[in-house]
Every structure is written in structure tokens, then in C-alpha cells.
Structure 1
Amino acid sequence: MSTSTLNVLDLKQERIRLLHLSWFAFFLTFVVWFNHAPMLASIKEAFDLTGQQVKALMILNVALTIPARVIVGMLVDRFGPRIIYSALLVSGGVMCIAFAFANSYEMIALLRFLMGFIGAGFVIGIRLVGEWFPARQVGLAEGVYGGWGNFGSAAAAMTLPTLALIYGGDDGWRYAIASTGVVALLYGFFFYWRARNTPKGSTYFKPKKSGGLVVTSKRDLVFYIAMCVPMYAALAVLTWKLSPTNLGLLNDVAAIALYVVLAVLFVFQVSQILRVNSDVLNNVPIPEMQKYKFKQVAILNVAYLATFGSELAVVSMLPLFFMETFDLGAVTAGMLASGFAFMNLVARPSGGYMSDRFGRRRSLTILIAGLTVGYLVLSQITSAWPIWLAVVATMCCSFFVQAGEGAVFAIVPLVKRSMTGQIAGMTGAYGNVGAVIFLTTLSFVSSSTFFIVIACCAAVVFLGVQFMEEPEGHIAEYNEDGSVALIEVS
């Protein structure tokens, strides 16, 4: 019987080697995705950009990630993680190199928008790691994958400025960014050579239909369609941010055209959802062993909105918050604020381990409650606080946030194996939806109110988690020959 312990140094085990292959692939996707951030000052100078244009680049960098995570989730379930991760790394590397040597603002804006697709790499590894580790270890394994891989953005911030200085000259930043693209491109080929979708003798289960999640009741079908709405709403908000009423990077015609495109895409997605769920619409009996409850997916979605969504938002504003609250310099404030992201290295694996060891729902409940209290504490920070105490409060809150992320994805692979990619894609997309919601809120309120809004959102999620059902027993999937395979989930 497998246990919840995991020796990540035991490279004799093929699954451990696969785990290291996977988290480093995810790490590289985050390095490439955020390699522009520490170079923004150089990019601004090279292209003589305005502050509004710089803000637009930051928005464009994350805009495509919401639909990309859903699309990549479908592709992973259909074609397998090995080929999709390899293709994403290679294509992302090529676009990164092109971005590094682009010679106009229009070109870097377009490439930054397209590079948002590489932010979907996280979804691929969730399915891959879920295939290789048993239920009693999958939470910790997914936590290591997510926590260590997510550190890629911090690694880019710490190393690329130095690398640019080593290259030297006015184009040092270009060579630094291009170097990350070359590494990602080469690793894509290496990953394809070394990775496998499943252990020897295991079956890679694929959904019978592609184009959307297959649900098992009309009620779940309505619920599923309703849960798609916030993703398009978030994209509409991003369009509004670029419109003449905000940053002004789009004219009225372009903004209206984008709104129309989003409406058409939503209608198209709904049509695809109805198509893949024709059996439910036509009242075709579904075997009991094939049924699952979509509420499990919905709860994971909103839990990730509160955890990863708030992390993205807080990481974006925390340096400025420390600067303004304690009258600090930019470098000092950045170093103090970096503690929030550094917690990923231990917090996500800890959340996964708790989920394996103490139960999925119980662990998620505790962690969501902890981050609710944590954000309420952050809302009380003022200049009268000792700086060390504010940093400690920030890191404690960060632990619960990122451990909560680990607990969420400790459950994702246990809902429905053949659709894990799609479930992970939708849940991951909700993290970006949360970031859009919280950052938009921040543009209208004070930092204190911003933290309170996140805490209130987390409190609602806490109530929702109480309706989650603990994964128990087995989930059933069909082999290619029609026989039934049972996969242990508890």
C-alpha cells in the first residue's frame, strides 16, 4: 500500500524522475511568461514607451491565459501531456526569442499577448503527475510540481537583470530574454525524449468526446454553462481596461469588435458543450459508475479563484503597498514583499501533504479559513506597525494562500481521470479570473479595503467548500476494449 510520504531525492524511481521533469518544465514556462517583468525599465527605454503602454503590456501578458488553460486542458486529455508540453515549450521558446528581438511596440505587444498561452503549461503537468502517482501521494506530488514550478517567476526576477548586465550593452536585456527562450525550446525536445504519459502497463484514458466537459445530468449541464460566464466576463473586463475609457490602447471600434468576438466565442462554446452532452439532453441513461458531480469542479474553481487569484493580485501590489505604508525605497520594499512568492517552495507541497494525510475537504476548509483570517490581518496593517511584524503577517497569510492552492490541485486528479486536463484547465482559468476581479477592485478602493474584499470572498468560498464531497472509493473509466477500469481515489 502506498503512503503519503514522498522521497523526491530517490531518482531510482521512474515516477520521481518524471516529477522532476514535470516541475522543471512548468518552471521554465513561468520563467518565459514573466521574463519581461524585471526588464520593463529597459524595454520602456528601448521603445520610448509611456506608462500606459507599459501597463498594457502587463495586461496583454495575462489576457490569453484564461482561454488558453481551457483549450490546453482539452488538448491534454485528447493527445496526452508529453506532446502538448513539448509543443508548448518549443512554440513558447520561439515566440520568446522573437519578442526579444522585436523592433516595434506593436510587435512586442502582439508577441506578449500570444505568449500568455505559455501560462497554460501548469495544466499539463497536473494531468501528467496525476497519472504517475497514487491517490495517497498525489496531493504532495502535485504540490511539489506546482510550488517548485511556480517559483519560475521569482527566479526570472532574481536572475535576468544580472544576466543582462553580464551580456552588457544596450541590448543586454534582449539577449537575457532570448536566453530563456532558447532554454525552453531545447527543453521541449528533451522533455519529448524523456517523458511518458503513463507508467508502463497503464492506460491513458481519453474522453469519448472533445469540445467540453461531459456532465451526467441536466442540472449539472446548466451549472457548467453558468460557470463559463465569469471567464468571459473577466476577458471583457480586460478589454475594458484597454479601451478609451481606461488605458486608451484600443479605439472604440476595436473595443466593440472585441466585445462582439467574446460574445460569439461564448455562444460557440455553449454550442460545443451542448453537443458533447447530447446524451444528457436526450435522456440517454448514464451508467451509475460513470457519474460524477459537477459541483466538485465548481467548488474547486472558486477555491482557486480565492487562492491563486488573490496571490497574483497581492504579488502585483505588495511592493508598492510596503513603499507607501512604511516609506521604503523600491529595492527594500521589493525584497520584503518577495516573501509572499517565496512561500510557494514549501507552502504548496505542504497543502498537498495535508490533503493526502488529513483528508481533502478538511484540509481545504482549514486553509481557506486561515487565508480569510490572514487577509483580515493584512487589512489592519498601518505605518504604526513594526515592519518585521508586517512581513511576518504577510508570510503567514501567504502560507495559507499557497497551501490552499496545493490542496485544490490535490483533489483535481481525483474527480474524473479521463477529463483531468479539462478540469485542471477550468480551475486554473478561474485563478486568473480571480486576479482580474481583485486587481480591478484595487483600482477603485484602498489597500485595506482590497484585503477585506478578498477576505469576504474567501469566507464565501469557505461556506462552499462545506458542500464538497470527500473523494472515496474508486472512479471508473473504460478501456479501449470496453472493459471497466477502477482507479482508487482514497
Structure 2
Amino acid sequence: MKNSISKKATKLNLKNIKSVPIRTFWITSFAFFLCFFSWFGIVPFMPDVVRELGLSPSEKWSAVVLAVTGTVFARLFIGKLCDKYGPRLCYTWLLIFGSIPVILTGFVQTADQFLICRLLTGFIGASFVITQVHTSLMFSSNVVGTANATSAGWGNLGGGANRLGMPLIAALVIALGVAESSAWRYSVIIAGILCFSMGIVYYFFTQDTPEGNFSELSEKEDVPGIKKDKVGFLNALKDYRVWILFIVYACSFGIELTVYGTMDDYLQNTFQLERITAGNMVLSFALMNIFARTLGGAFGDRFGKLKGLRGRVLFLSFILVVQGIVLSSFSGITNLYIAIGFLILFSLSVQMAEGATFSVVPFINKKAIGSISGIVGAGGNVGAFLAALLLKFKSGAAEKVAIAANEGLSQDVIRSAQSAASAQAVSEGYLFIGLTVIASGIVALGIRFSVKDEKLAREELNASLDVVPANA
């Protein structure tokens, strides 16, 4: 076992690209970035899509929900496949096959075709699970939380960077002679091609573990095999701690997805901001993934050194409660500048909570890291799905009442009433969601580790601090 630990990286030395763990870290982070960039790449062009395909408000919301739904199932299964076949092959095929619906989005002609493509594109969101599995296999326990959080944070950045990157791609193709009305189609096709190309890079320039690929390693080297995978996956399903983390991630990453997906409209309706201004504000908060999620993982590692595995859980519980309090407070603020301050605090706390979650995941069951990562990762999308449904129905119902109440008046009056009703409904939804997040922070305290688990974790930590790795 010591030999296995000694070959894992004990430092996140990002300049040492000759090291297998660091090279893998960079490649998996960039692959994750491209997946999220492509997954949400259509968002900046939704007004064009709605206009060209004639989407109804209900179909527009359905596109949001379907894109999240596809990811739930993909994440559940991809973790088990990682335990069985290794993250290298799983990521390669996910990138290659996942690029197909992204590319096909550029050719859709009807609303139904678009909705199907959004559902299938959601499968590429399973890239998060593979990223977490791969970094967990490459880094020692003293730094695994930081490595997981950093790779995930930089990957999540793709979900915000598309707001700037995709319009730039569109501007480029327009400059090359493409009609402005078709620029969004070419942009998503290019994003899909980038994902496909990354799949080739992943296959040739990464390996499953510092020791080699799963197919090259024996059961004696403590690498999850088919038999262990079957036992590990069943144990993962039966372990109550996995389902607590499922709820926790639903209330962190799931809520981040939903809040950022609805924040543009909320800021416009509540504070009468221009669309571009609101969009840039949301982008700036998404960019906090560069460091905020890393902070969560780093604090998890730090508390792990001080208080053991229980310390990681205590910090996770604390940051979740902070996140819930901040979001609940934000929901009732009507002053723009104060709202911006609370939105910054929300971005910081929710991303730290995500990083802290995956500083705990690798220690639940080391024989089923993939399976557990998949289940917990799926929780994020379940949370996004449920929160999106809540806001959809509250906002839709409120807007219908506002339209009926102002029937016969001018369109400007109706639109104004509709916007105010939507803002109030979403505000109430944010409050309910914030209180739910606080409850999840309390529930997180239920995650327990045995005395044996704590002892093994302490021994592994001491070993990782004492041993000079072959590829630091």
C-alpha cells in the first residue's frame, strides 16, 4: 500500500507538467472546462434560438430542465464505469460521444429536435464525476481535497466563460462571412468539435493512476477491479453517508446551477438592469470558481489535518449553513449594492461548499470512489432539477395572475406587471431554497466515521507527508 501512496502527488505543483499526476490534473481540468463550456454554450444564444425556432416560454424552461435531467442518469452510471474501466477510457468516450448532440444542436430545425439535443447534451455533464475520480486517484490524502476542488472549480468556470467565449466565437464566424442569424449554429458546432478533439488528447496523454492504466495493473496493487467494483457499488448504495452527501451536493452545486441560471432575469426584473449588465454580473460571479471552490477543498484538507475526518465534516456543515443564510438574506434585499455584496458572499460560500463536499467523498469508501462520486455528483443535478421546477411553477403561476389582472391594458403595463410578479415569485423561491440549504448543513453533521477509519486516514496522512513521491 505504501508503494501506491508514494507514487501519488503530495503537492499541487502546477508547474511540474512532467509529473503524471500534474499532467493529468491539467488535462482533466481543461476537458471538464470544455464539457461545461459546451453544455451551457447555448445559453448566450437563447434569445436567437427562441426567435428562430419559435419556442414558447414553457419550451424554453423545458430546455433548461432537460439539460439537467440528462446529467443525473449519466453521473449515476459513469462513476461505476470509472471503478471498472478507469477514468481514462470513460473520459475519452464521454468526450467523443458527448460531442455529437452538441454538434447536432447546430442543425436543429424544430423545437422538439432542440429539446432532444439539450437532453442528450446533458450527458456530458457527467465529466465532473470522472474529473473527481481521476484527481482522487492521482493525489495523496493531504492534498486530495484541494486538487479535487481546484480541478472542479476550473472546470465549472466553463459554465460561466461561455457567456463571453461563445459570443466571441460567433463574432469570429461572422467576420469570416457567416450570416449573423446563423452564427449561433456555427458556434455550438465549433464547441462540439473542440470536445471531440479533447477526447483524442485524453486517450493518448493520460493514464488511470500514477502506476499505470487499470488494464495493466493487477488486483494486488489495490486498484479497483471488476469484482471489487460490484461489492463497492452495492456498499455505496447502502451507505447512508453517501445519501447525505447526495443531499449536500444537491444543496450546493444544484443550487448554484439554478441560481445562476435564473439570476439574469431576476436582476433585470428586480433592479431594472439591462440584459448585458445583468449577464456580465452573473459571469463575474461564475468566474469566482477560479479560486472559491479551491478554498473549500483547501479548508477541508486543513480541518482534516487538525481534526481528522470529523474535521472535514464540521467545516462542510459550517459552510453550508453560511450559504443558506446568505441566500435567504439575499432574497429579501431590494437595494442593488447590498444585493451585489450578498451575491458575492453567496458565490463564495456555495463554491466553497462544493469543494468541501469532495474533500469528504474520497474517504467514504476507497474501493468505490467512482461509484460514490457518481451518486453524489448526480445529487447536484437532482437539486438543480427540483429547484428549477420550483421556480418555474412559482414564476409561471405568478405571471399568469399578473397578466389576467391587467388584461385590456397596454403591453408595456402587462410586461411590467409580469416582471414584478416573476421577481416576487423567484424571491420567495430563493428564500425557501436558502432555508433548505441551512437544513442540509445540519443534516451533514450526521456523517460519521469509525475509529478504524479515522486511524487509517491519520496513518495515510502521515505517510503522505513523510514519503517523497516518485512524481510530486
In structure 2, the CA distance between the partners of 1:447 and 1:113, relative to structure 1 (3 Å rule), is closer
In structure 2, the CA distance between the partners of 1:58 and 1:376, relative to structure 1 (3 Å rule), is closer
Pair 1:193-2:218 in alignment: no
Q: Deviations over 1:79-99 (max 9, x none)?
A: 110001000101112332222
* Pairs within 5 Å for 1:324-403: 324-359=269-304, 360-382=312-334, 385=335, 387-403=336-352
**What is the aligned partner in structure 2 of residue 459 from structure 1?**
438
State the alpha-carbon separation in 2 of the partners of residues 363 and 467 from structure 1. Answer: 13
- Pick one of 126, 137, 143 that aligns with 1:131: 137
Residue aligned with 1:11, SS: coil
Pair 1:439-2:388 in alignment: yes
In structure 2, the CA distance between the partners of 1:454 and 1:179, relative to structure 1 (3 Å rule), is same
Contact kept, 8 Å, 2:328 with 2:432, in 1: the verdict is: no
* Pairs within 5 Å for 1:413-428: 413-428=362-377
In structure 2, the CA distance between the partners of 1:4 and 1:355, relative to structure 1 (3 Å rule), is farther
In structure 2, the CA distance between the partners of 1:372 and 1:44, relative to structure 1 (3 Å rule), is closer
State the alpha-carbon separation in 1 of the partners of residues 22 and 41 from structure 2. Answer: 28
**What is the aligned partner in structure 2 of residue 281 from structure 1?**
none
In structure 2, the CA distance between the partners of 1:131 and 1:172, relative to structure 1 (3 Å rule), is same
- Pick one of 205, 223, 232 that aligns with 2:224: 205
Residue 487 of structure 1: how far off its partner (Å): 12
State the alpha-carbon separation in 1 of the partners of residues 52 and 331 from structure 2. Answer: 38
In structure 2, the CA distance between the partners of 1:487 and 1:107, relative to structure 1 (3 Å rule), is farther
Contact kept, 8 Å, 1:308 with 1:402, in 2: the verdict is: yes
State the alpha-carbon separation in 2 of the partners of residues 178 and 372 from structure 1. Answer: 38
Q: Deviations over 1:257-304 (max 9, x none)?
A: xxxxxxxxxxxxxxxxxxxxxxxxxxxxxxxxxxxxx12212211111
Q: Deviations over 1:410-441 (max 9, x none)?
A: 11122112211111111111111111222222
1-10 vs 300-309, greater mean Cα deviation:
1-10
Residue 154 of structure 1: how far off its partner (Å): 1.2
Contact kept, 8 Å, 1:372 with 1:459, in 2: the verdict is: yes
TM-score by length of structure 1 reads: 0.77
Residue 489 of structure 1: how far off its partner (Å): 9.6
**What is the aligned partner in structure 2 of residue 258 from structure 1?**
none
Residue 41 of structure 1: how far off its partner (Å): 2.2
Contact kept, 8 Å, 2:228 with 2:367, in 1: the verdict is: no
State the alpha-carbon separation in 1 of the partners of residues 366 and 67 from structure 2. Answer: 31
Contact kept, 8 Å, 1:3 with 1:136, in 2: the verdict is: no
Q: Deviations over 1:362-414 (max 9, x none)?
A: 221221121122122212311xx2x2221111111211111000010111122
In structure 2, the CA distance between the partners of 1:31 and 1:208, relative to structure 1 (3 Å rule), is same
140-149 vs 369-378, greater mean Cα deviation:
369-378
**What is the aligned partner in structure 2 of residue 474 from structure 1?**
456
**What is the aligned partner in structure 1 of residue 216 from structure 2?**
none
Contact kept, 8 Å, 1:379 with 1:452, in 2: the verdict is: yes
In structure 2, the CA distance between the partners of 1:316 and 1:416, relative to structure 1 (3 Å rule), is same
Q: Deviations over 1:443-467 (max 9, x none)?
A: 3272332222122212222222222
- Pick one of 92, 103, 107 that aligns with 2:109: 103
Residue 486 of structure 1: how far off its partner (Å): 12
Higher helix share: 2
Q: Deviations over 1:115-156 (max 9, x none)?
A: 111111111111111000000010000011110001111121
- Pick one of 305, 314, 319 that aligns with 2:259: 314
Higher RCO (C-alpha 8 Å, min separation 6): 2
Contact kept, 8 Å, 1:473 with 1:489, in 2: the verdict is: no
State the alpha-carbon separation in 1 of the partners of residues 431 and 53 from structure 2. Answer: 39
% identical equivalent positions: 30
* Pairs within 5 Å for 1:245-256: none
- 5+ residue gaps, structure 2, are 1-5, 213-220, 305-311, 396-424, 466-472
Pair 1:172-2:183 in alignment: yes
Residue 189 of structure 1: how far off its partner (Å): 0.6
State the alpha-carbon separation in 2 of the partners of residues 400 and 486 from structure 1. Answer: 27
State the alpha-carbon separation in 1 of the partners of residues 83 and 9 from structure 2. Answer: 27
Pair 1:449-2:428 in alignment: yes
- 5+ residue gaps, structure 1, are 225-293, 476-484
State the alpha-carbon separation in 2 of the partners of residues 380 and 57 from structure 1. Answer: 28
In structure 2, the CA distance between the partners of 1:102 and 1:488, relative to structure 1 (3 Å rule), is farther
State the alpha-carbon separation in 2 of the partners of residues 398 and 215 from structure 1. Answer: 35
Contact kept, 8 Å, 1:32 with 1:92, in 2: the verdict is: no
State the alpha-carbon separation in 1 of the partners of residues 276 and 242 from structure 2. Answer: 41
TM-score by length of structure 2 reads: 0.80
Query: Partner amino acid for 1:405?
Result: E
Contact kept, 8 Å, 1:197 with 1:204, in 2: the verdict is: no
Pair 1:24-2:30 in alignment: yes
* Pairs within 5 Å for 1:279-294: 294=239
Query: Partner amino acid for 1:454?
Result: I
**What is the aligned partner in structure 2 of residue 112 from structure 1?**
118
State the alpha-carbon separation in 2 of the partners of residues 183 and 18 from structure 1. Answer: 18
Query: Partner amino acid for 1:206?
Result: G
Residue 207 of structure 1: how far off its partner (Å): 5.2
State the alpha-carbon separation in 2 of the partners of residues 75 and 489 from structure 1. Answer: 28
Q: Deviations over 1:60-116 (max 9, x none)?
A: 222211111101111111111000100010111233222212333333322222111
Query: Partner amino acid for 2:259?
Result: V
Contact kept, 8 Å, 1:4 with 1:353, in 2: the verdict is: no
Q: Deviations over 1:176-228 (max 9, x none)?
A: 11111111111101110001000126653135266785456xxx97xx4xxxx
